[in-house]
Amino acid sequence: MKFRLHLYLILALSLSGCFVRLPTGDMTSGTSTIPPTLKSSDVTTPKEKTPLRVFCAGSLIRPFDELEKAFEALHPEVDVLMECHGSIQVIRHVTELHEKIDVVATADHALIPMLMYATTDAETGEPYAEWYIRFASNRLALAYTPQSRGADQIDEDNWYNIIPQPGVRLGIADPRFDASGYRALMALRLAEDAYTQPGIFNNVIQGRFKHPINIFEDDDFTEISVPGILEPKPDSGILTRGASIQLIALLQSGDLDYAFEYESVIRQHGLNWIKLPDAVNLGSEANNPQYNRVQVKMDFRRFASVEPVFKGEQIGYGITIPTNAPHPDLAAKFIAFLLGPEGRRLMEANFHPILKQPVCDQAPSVPPELGSFCPGELSP
């Protein structure tokens, strides 16, 4: 009886919802947490801090934490709210969840045109971003601990034989959500050429996921196709997580032996690591022609949205201010601070290679406060 009463209640509520206008069709805008009036209240009540929402790639979490503190010390009226995820997730917070974010920093600059230029904000009718600045690089490496299986034998010339061994547990960021994930797949394929050892990719990856990651070889070009569902087989020895930084804890707890990570992150955590050759680590501009021969495609037909394709190239971190950012002026100040001497120092103190000369995409659209970082001007 009671249960039936509940049903009536639900029915009645849903009917009454028609009159009080439930936020059904407009669910998406509900995620914004920043009241639009905050800026004006800022003037009248100086104690109220202006929130600056900064979303960054997981691999930037350490330097950006320090950047946050330094920036807040300089601007006491600002409260920097940092949130870090896998790079693709960072962007989806803007384009899919429609959150109002001030600064977006991703580990792959190519994601910004692919996912933000190409998507229009229904509220403003503009694309979610119109420019970005490539500001940092990194190198991919293989992290491990002294307790890792095979730690006493592994070196720069045999790592690809150790990680596929039975009983060795390897961590890779999920390539569907994190740039480090698809870069690890590229690195495994690039290693085949660098060491002239065909089969490295297949040894490490094939047969270990419930739905296979397929690799298509052409004469001078390789495409790796990642399925929409990516789950390691039980006992396959492979573990995936949504962002590469989540693998660090599993390395430390001894539940992973090796993990593909960025060099900066590895050194921040004081882990052991195998340095990968330039032809593999995706960190050298000179090796771009080699990197370009590999690409990773996401086979996401089941979700009918974009099917992202990631081209192999030197790792480039990109930063932008979404067009719907609530505080674009402050956001520009934050980016200028990052690209200035203090930000540069903090990045380097965290072993994160920052570009000597940032590269601007769509320079004419870059806010004037940041124009000084784009001296090359008007290059497309």
Only segment of 46-54, 228-236, 327-335, 364-372 that touches another protein (CB under 8 A): 228-236
Residue 201 to residue 160: CA distance in whole angstroms:
9
Find where tokens 């429609």 sit.
98
Angle (CA) 26 27 33, round 5°: 110
Please identify which residue in 5, 8, 19, 25 interacts with another protein, judged by CB under 8 A: 25
Closest to 109 measured CA to CA, from 124, 127, 92, 131: 131
Asked if residue 5 binds another protein (CB under 8 A), the reply is: no
Asked if residue 3 binds another protein (CB under 8 A), the reply is: yes
Asked if residue 166 binds another protein (CB under 8 A), the reply is: no
Question: How far, in Å, are 171, 192, 256, 316 from residue 266 at the CA level?
Answer: 14, 24, 14, 18
Asked if residue 82 binds another protein (CB under 8 A), the reply is: no
User: What's the farthest any 2 CA atoms get from each other in the chain?
Assistant: 74
Smallest gap from residue 349 Cβ to another protein (A): 28
Give yes or no for a contact between 276 and 305, defined as CB atoms under 8 angstroms apart: no
Give yes or no for a contact between 363 and 374, defined as CB atoms under 8 angstroms apart: yes
- Chain Cα centroid distance, residue 317: 9
Smallest gap from residue 8 Cβ to another protein (A): 12
Please identify which residue in 199, 254, 340, 375 interacts with another protein, judged by CB under 8 A: 254
Smallest gap from residue 282 Cβ to another protein (A): 23
Asked if residue 48 binds another protein (CB under 8 A), the reply is: no
- Read off the tokens for 365: 């659209």
Query: Among residues 168 and 191, whose Cβ is nearest to another protein?
Result: 168
- Measure the N-to-C terminal CA separation of the chain; round to a whole number of Å: 69
Please identify which residue in 139, 176, 327, 352 interacts with another protein, judged by CB under 8 A: 176
Please identify which residue in 156, 255, 285, 307 interacts with another protein, judged by CB under 8 A: 255
CB neighbourhood size of 40 (10 A): 8
How many residues make contact with another protein (CB under 8 A)? 43
Smallest gap from residue 4 Cβ to another protein (A): 9
Query: Among residues 212 and 232, whose Cβ is nearest to another protein?
Result: 232
- Chain Cα centroid distance, residue 77: 29
Please identify which residue in 49, 92, 269, 344 interacts with another protein, judged by CB under 8 A: 92
Footprint on residues 301-330 left by another protein (CB under 8 A): 303, 305
